[in-house]
Amino acid sequence: MNNLSIVEALGQIAREKNVDRELVIQTLADALVSAAKRRYGNTENYEVEIDPIQGKMEVFAIMTVVEEVVEPSMELLLEDAQDIDSKAELGSVLKHKLDFSDFGRNAIQTAKQILIQRVREAERERIHDEFIGRVGTIESGTVQQISHGDIVLNLGRAEAAVPYKEQIRRERYRQGDAVRGLIYEVLKSSRGPQVLLSRTHPEFLKKLFSIEVPEISEGIVDIHAVAREPGERAKIAVSSTDERVDPVGACVGIKGSRVQAIVRELSGERIDIVPWIDEPDIFITRALSPATVTRCITDSRRRHAVVIVEEDQLSLAIGKGGQNSRLAVQLTGWGLDIITEDQYQERRIEQEKYQQVFRMIPGISELIALSLTTSGFDSITSITEVDLELLQTVPGLENAETASNIRQSAIHFFAEHGEIDVNTLTKDLVDNVGPDSESTATHTEAVSDMATVEVGVEEVPSEAIVEPVGGDVEPTTVQDVSVDTDENAETGSDIVGSVVENTEEVISAGSEHLNSENCEEEPEQGV
């Protein structure tokens, strides 16, 4: 193979690997220098000249003319120098052309290995730079192989992997299948960049909606939150910047066409589409659909809510294996405690008992006792052993000195009287506690950052506009969309409507604010 053929081959390599041609040529020059050093000595006096147009490729040794040679690889006698250049004299620097045939097989092999390695490194760098800027986007590829549960995809210009943990469990893949996923990470490794795709990431669902729903890509409909249990069920909260556009209807599409396409992509994953609202009480009730919520008591400081439902709605609110409540927690970002009305009344009685105990401690007022119980304190010991910083999070105890005095007072009281058993308190207190008790009215304005909203939910036809009852608010469309995977269904969705009957926010009585850790025999909520 002549030099021209070698240069042309390098150009072809550059095109196939999508690597800069100049980089390949420079790599070849470095490889030839390495071969020369291996043959003639490890010096720095070699120079390579490559003309890609004419196909010329030459290697020179830079030699100094001397009277006596000490370093043969760098020095040349005057007589030998004049054979190369008749004008050479002592001290002159000559470029002595080397013959490739003198390099030897090992030197040429070394040059070849260097060239291959450098081209691979350049290709890896190119792939990394290309895909690192595409993290968060959807990429499609075909299944090339399946190794140890991981799927290797051919993206055309690169390879990508879908790790087993990022796959939807019910899906099965075969070689040649088309697969889409979200690029969530690009790694550098000894084997080159690893482009990792996910089909379980919540962002993947958001991107699918952005593709299927033009209103989202145009910025008319916003996706505020996504919660998923891949392959099983998902919840997505949406709102509209245009009053004329129904965000739920836009995501569902005509006869469910838009959301059905996403469901098919996700192998039948049911999707609940929830209208977003910047009112935690109402948003939480919507997130728990299709369950009917009676009351929602929120604690904004702890971002925790107690959700009260009827007995027959408890299992629906929690969902199979706690799925519905877990998704609601993920969607809202609030801790949820779902209980029945009877459990709620039992808690109120217990809290009133704790408040009575705390009021026995010198320095603890009725208001502070209320704040302590609503913040989760259920014994004198819990006050004496708590960190001062945590105690300062209790409403009314933000001041460090006040919090320290309360804790010291509790320590002295405990040393003198020990722990008080709430079960020994008078029964008169129990009889006085109820939904309309005087104690409730007494503490109506006790804690300003806690609120109670009572809501009623009933079934309405899909896409119906329902007038709220008892409040001066605008009509609201409340739709939770559960999509059926049956492609022959009329709409492909199971739409549940909800009506917010009372939107007037009232400040809850202190006795209504509950500690989520004191529920008796509550099912796990997935908080």
pLDDT confidence of residue 73: 66
Categorize the per-residue pLDDT at 107 as very low, low, confident or very high, splitting at 50, 70 and 90.
low
Higher-confidence residue of 280 and 444: namely 280
Choose between 230 and 28: higher pLDDT: 230
- Which residues touch 320 (CB under 8 Å, ≥6 apart)? none
**Res 158: pLDDT:** 82
Out of 240-254, 419-433, 481-495, the most confident range is 240-254
How many Cβ atoms are within 10 Å of 375's Cβ, its own excluded?
22
CATH number of 3-128: 3.30.1480.10
Of 54-68, 146-160, 386-400, the least confident:
54-68
Residue 448 confidence class, pLDDT cut points 50, 70, 90: very low
pLDDT of residue 8: 61
Provide, rounded to the nearest whole percent, the portion of the chain with pLDDT above 70. 69
**What does the pLDDT read at residue 11?**
62
How far apart CA 184 and CA 366 sit, in angstroms, is: 53
Residue 267 burial class via C-beta count within 10 angstroms: exposed 0-12, middle 13-18, buried 19 and up: middle
Closest CA to 374 of 426, 297, 433: 297
Strand order in the sheet with 221-229: 221-229, 233-240, 270-275
- Whether 71 has a pLDDT exceeding 80, the answer reads no
pLDDT score recorded for residue 16: 61
Residue extent(s) of CATH 2.40.50.140 domains in the chain? 135-200
**pLDDT score recorded for residue 85:** 73
- Which pair of tokens denotes residue 134? 């595409």
- The rounded mean pLDDT for the chain is 75
Cα–Cα distance for residue pair 72/41, rounded to 1 Å: 9
Give 135-200's CATH code, choosing from 3.90.226.10, 3.30.70.3420, 3.30.1330.40, 2.40.50.140: 2.40.50.140
In this structure, of 110-119, 278-287, 294-303, 305-314, the range with the lowest mean pLDDT score is: 110-119
**Would you say residue 419 has pLDDT above 70?**
yes
Give 222's contacts (C-beta < 8 A, 6+ positions apart).
216, 238, 239, 240, 241, 247, 276
Highest mean pLDDT, choosing among 191-195, 283-287, 508-512: 283-287
Between 135 and 506, where is the model more confident? 135
* pLDDT value at 59 more than 80: no
Average pLDDT value for residue range 145-166? 88
For the chain, give every residue range classified as CATH 3.30.1480.10.
3-128
CA distance 209 to 271: 11
Closest CA to 225 of 276, 290, 280: 276
3-state secondary structure 218-254: CCCEEEEEEEEECCCEEEEEEEECCCCCCHHHHHHCH
User: Which two three-digit tokens encode residue 357?
Assistant: 């105990």
Burial pattern 292-328, b for ≥16 Cβ within 10 A else e, equals bbbbbbbbeebebbbbbbeeebbebbbbeebebbbbb
Q: Looking only at Cα atoms, what is the longest distance across the chain? A: 124
Cβ atoms of 263 and 272 closer than 8 Å = no
Work out the pLDDT band at 13, boundaries 50, 70, 90. low
Q: Is the pLDDT of residue 279 over 50?
A: yes
Q: Which pLDDT belongs to residue 21?
A: 66
Count of beta carbons in the 10 Å neighbourhood of residue 475: 9
CB 368 within 8 A of CB 350: no
**By mean pLDDT, which of 65-79, 167-181, 237-251, 428-442 is the weakest?**
428-442
CA 198 remoteness from chain centre:
11
Measured in Å, how far apart are the chain's first and last C-alpha atoms? 71
Query: What's the token pair of residue 426?
Result: 């008078």
| 514, pLDDT greater than 70 | no
Q: Does the pLDDT value for residue 159 go beyond 60?
A: yes
Q: What is the pLDDT of residue 286?
A: 94
Choose among 373, 411, 387, 391: nearest CA to 517.
Answer: 373
- DSSP annotation of 476 reads B
Residues 6+ apart with CB under 8 A from 197: 139, 141, 153, 160, 161, 162, 166, 179, 181, 182, 183, 184
Per-residue pLDDT tens over the stretch 450-469: 444 444 433 333 332 222 33
Length of the chain counted residue by residue: 527
